[in-house]
Structure 1
Amino acid sequence: MPCSGWMQARLEVAAVTCEMNLAEPLSAPSTASPADRQSLRLIFAYETAAILILAVSLFWTAFFASRQQWPIAAADLLLAGLAAASWAMIRAGSLNSALIVSEVTLMIFTVCYALMFDEPSADIPRITHLYLLVIAMLGYINHLRRRSAFQLLVTAACLVGFIVLSSTTYAFPFARTIPDDIRAGGIWVNSILATAMLCGGIYAIQKEFTRPKGLMLDLSNAVRNRELRLHFQPQVDRTGQIIGAEALMRWQHPDRGLIPPNDFIPAAEAAGLMPLLGGWALAEACRTLSQWQDDPALARLTLAVNVSASQFQLEDFERTVLGTVRRHRIDPARLKLELTESVIVHALAPTVAKMNALRAIGITFALDDFGTGYSSLSYLRRLPVDQLKIDRSFVQESLESDRGGALVRSIVHLGIDLGFVVLAEGIETSAQHAFLLECGCHEFQGYHFGRPVDAAAFADHVRQAAAGGSPALLPAANDRTRRSA
């Protein structure tokens, strides 16, 4: 039966994808963050599903056309067109819109298919409507991934449709039922597939609800209870002058004290909370820049904020950033957004479009952890990036071997040749600093120049430096890591 092929392609892949998104192991080894891996896998899986639907639908179109059953062939051709449209939307970077369109069109298609081609008979019952339960399950799983009243509405509509089609023998007056010799085999195939997909969906939901919730619930409340903090690590130029800072997230838990990012960022990424935390960090960074504007020693500084893959890929990301900048009335040129390579490797065209929309008002971009992910000159030359940040692992190895030093030197020269500002992070010794100066590096960051500290301590540090003093490096309690997102 034609339903079995395209339903299997669309729903089975989607169920597996949602499971990966909801229950990604925190310890999976990869250079990309869990959020990056989840987002890339989700996009890839839905692209693959759309292509499979397109291929299977075209097969059934040809099959029924060969038997001169033109209405059924036309229905499958319509499904192929919907699959192609969904694929195009995903490629354009509109993942959430593609999911909504796919769920709604599949729901309508399933109902119409059941009423038009799957009229029950005395020997063979209607079976297509079973897939409404699968679509309802997927709608609910997507609701868990990203809370949405519309997803709940889709789930409810599918359940109502299932009840009506199960309880009646109604079909369109102009129905063209598929011959019983085809339906006799399809009833077993569809029943098995629908049951298997429902079991997969139940398993995915079980993984979501049995996962440890304490830390995630605390994180959700941390934003509302103002427990999160931004710490600031100085960035200096070749003369040693502080020219900016990187904003790094810290969590001051009321019972457990200061929780390092290594302990809560992976949990936030796995739980899909990074858009929430990233949105808070962006707003707090802009508020800080607004305060700095009134201080002569701080007004000239730039502030870099990390942006996670799941945050950047939100369809309204650029509008949110623009709104935050305007609300706090800051100079956009003082705000720098740091992206990892894994954020931008997929769907390059929409990524560039988002970046250009923000660069148009003066916001700059840094490519963080350069060299540790998916480095490629083919995309590097197309990206509207202003700065390359050499990952700390390369800096640490620069003086340990000739090959390590040659690699750092090559990265610096590459960045200079492409017109980027090159910043090396993770500098801990004067020897590392001297080597990077000799290589031609423009800017520097690391414990050698200052540890991440709270806003007040950072401001004092900058004022002392501006006054000509030589303040000691400021330690940050329990600071095991510099990463914020």
Structure 2
Amino acid sequence: MITSAMFLKRVRQLWQSSELALVSQRRERRMRLLASLLMLVLGAAWGCFFALRGAWGIVLMDAALILCGLGVFVLTLRGESRRANLLLFGTLIVIIVATTLVLDVPSVAAPRATHLYLLPLAVAALMAFRDERLWLRYGVASLCLLLFTGLAASNWAPVSGYGLPDEVRIIGSWLQGVAAVAMMFMLLHILQTDAAERSELDSDLRSALREEQFALHYQPQLDSNGQVVGAEVLIRWQHPQRGLVSPAEFIGRAEKTGLIIPIGRWVLRQTCAQLRAWQDHPACRDLRLAVNISQNQLRQSSFVPEVLAMIEEYGIDARCLELELTETLIVQDVDDLTRKMAKLVERGVSFSLDDFGTGFSSLSHLKRLPLSTLKIDRSFICDLPADSSSETIVRTVIALGQSMGMTVIAEGVETEAQHRFLVDHGCTQFQGYLFSKPLPLPAFMTFIGNTVQARGAVA
């Protein structure tokens, strides 16, 4: 259905042009970057303040704040959002509690106020960990609330001599109270906005299914002789207001809501219909169409009967239908997966392992599963032939596939140098922008015709 290579490329383009519809991810990224910069600034400012007063214990805490701010900044830039969130929230909880206990010691004139930041931090945790397991999402938020309650009800301080004077803390209490409340309202507004956007997206997706607003594009797969041997089927959404929408904008949400199941069923049905239409076309009758299967689809007990029913309904040659699995999917329940694959392989359907090398599959999985194709992930192809590590990995995958009798496809091929390296080391099939981007059906048919003419001219 879709490849990570196409996802990443399109997402980068949408980000640069400010068209990206995944607003919550963009907001979270910006909030993490802002939080990391605030940690750097506050850590440096307070570090200088207490260094001048010889409070080296507090200076060490400020140094830790600076280092954690740098860590969050780097992890966010690298796209490791989960690790960045864990580091960010862990650091902020420790710093807020330590600051409240050490610097914000309550008195008759000025009560504690620093602990108020734990309230917006609890709301922020619900946003940052919304896609994580419930125990993590609500665990962090609950911890913030428990600490807030404990600090609000206690006057205990572990050490003395570091508390700020009352005249400073009286002003600070008002400022911190206003700041905490403002942060709370801002985060609640973002939560409400995100919920509205997700609800609208869900409604639009259901309308898209009813009104068949989806369309299929085809990215050609070529052999070492330049002949088109198949294509990967990629879904696009022809939105009535927004135009052509990339799968990066809706597949993730469809996975979470379960809409990926009827969407995936629609893609399979359209693929079978297209294979049936090509049976009388000399240049296309032997083409193989590859469809990416989601984890939610394959978990359905009705998946195998539905695929077999479509093959029977359209009367297609099942050998022309290839189902693509990901490494994440094949480590979930290998026994159930093997049984389902075996039933479909018996009827002629083939299976490929997409993005090989980026997940957690083992050689034992490859041995047990009836796979016919390995796809080398573009992350290994993009650095060829300059990067020695990528060269070693690609050569190993090619040799592994050949030794197990599998076809090896390299995806994300964009330069002649990459293509030449792959050919020289035994890779037999290729997919990428060097040959063609994903094409709507008329353009794909034209591409096939041009390829046939070019090969005829060479011959």
Residue number in structure 2 paired with 1:183: none
Residue number in structure 2 paired with 1:455: 441
Please list the CA deviations of residues 335-358 of structure 1 after superposition, one character each: whole Å capped at 9, or x if unmatched: 000000111112211100000000
**Structure-to-structure mapping, 1:21-32, within 5 angstroms:** none
Which letter maps to 1:385? L
Q: 2:199 aligns with which of 213, 221, 227?
A: 213
Please list the CA deviations of residues 260-281 of structure 1 after superposition, one character each: whole Å capped at 9, or x if unmatched: 1111111212222111111111
**Structure-to-structure mapping, 1:267-346, within 5 angstroms:** 267-346=253-332
**How far 1:380 sits from its partner (Å)?**
1.0
Please list the CA deviations of residues 216-272 of structure 1 after superposition, one character each: whole Å capped at 9, or x if unmatched: 111111122121000000000111111110000001101100011111111212222
**Can you give the 5+ residue segments of structure 1 that lack an aligned partner in the other structure?**
1-24, 30-205, 472-485
Please list the CA deviations of residues 186-229 of structure 1 after superposition, one character each: whole Å capped at 9, or x if unmatched: xxxxxxxxxxxxxxxxxxxx999777211111111112212100
CA contact (8 A) 1:338 1:365 kept: yes
Instruction: Give distance in 1, aligned partners of 2:214 and 2:434.
Output: 26
TM-score, normalization: structure 1?
A: 0.54
Q: 2:425 aligns with which of 439, 454, 462?
A: 439
CA contact (8 A) 1:232 1:454 kept: yes
- 2:383 is equivalent to residue 383 of structure 1: no
**Structure-to-structure mapping, 1:131-280, within 5 angstroms:** 212-280=198-266
1:446 and 1:470, CA in 2 relative to 1: closer, same or farther beyond 3 A? farther
Residue number in structure 1 paired with 2:381: 395
1:327 and 1:373, CA in 2 relative to 1: closer, same or farther beyond 3 A? same
CA contact (8 A) 1:249 1:281 kept: yes
**How far 1:403 sits from its partner (Å)?**
1.3
**How far 1:400 sits from its partner (Å)?**
3.1
SS in 2 for 1:315: coil
SS in 1 for 2:241: coil
Please list the CA deviations of residues 346-395 of structure 1 after superposition, one character each: whole Å capped at 9, or x if unmatched: 22111000000000010000000101111211111111000000001111
Instruction: Give distance in 1, aligned partners of 2:408 and 2:219.
Output: 17
**How far 1:314 sits from its partner (Å)?**
0.5
Instruction: Give distance in 1, aligned partners of 2:235 and 2:418.
Output: 26
Instruction: Give distance in 1, aligned partners of 2:409 and 2:455.
Output: 24
Runs ≥4 residues deviating over 6 A: 25-29, 206-211
Which letter maps to 2:305? R
- 2:451 is equivalent to residue 468 of structure 1: no
Instruction: Give distance in 1, aligned partners of 2:242 and 2:455.
Output: 36
Instruction: Give distance in 2, aligned partners of 1:312 and 1:211.
Output: 28
Please list the CA deviations of residues 417-437 of structure 1 after superposition, one character each: whole Å capped at 9, or x if unmatched: 111110000000111000000
Residue number in structure 2 paired with 1:417: 403
- % of aligned pairs identical? 43
The CA RMSD over aligned residues, in Å, is 2.5
Bigger relative CO (Cα 8 Å, ≥ 6 apart): 1
Which letter maps to 2:448? V
1:297 and 1:214, CA in 2 relative to 1: closer, same or farther beyond 3 A? same
Which letter maps to 1:377? L
CA contact (8 A) 2:328 2:361 kept: no
What is the total number of aligned residue pairs between the two structures?
A: 273
TM-score, normalization: structure 2?
A: 0.57
Instruction: Give distance in 2, aligned partners of 1:400 and 1:227.
Output: 43
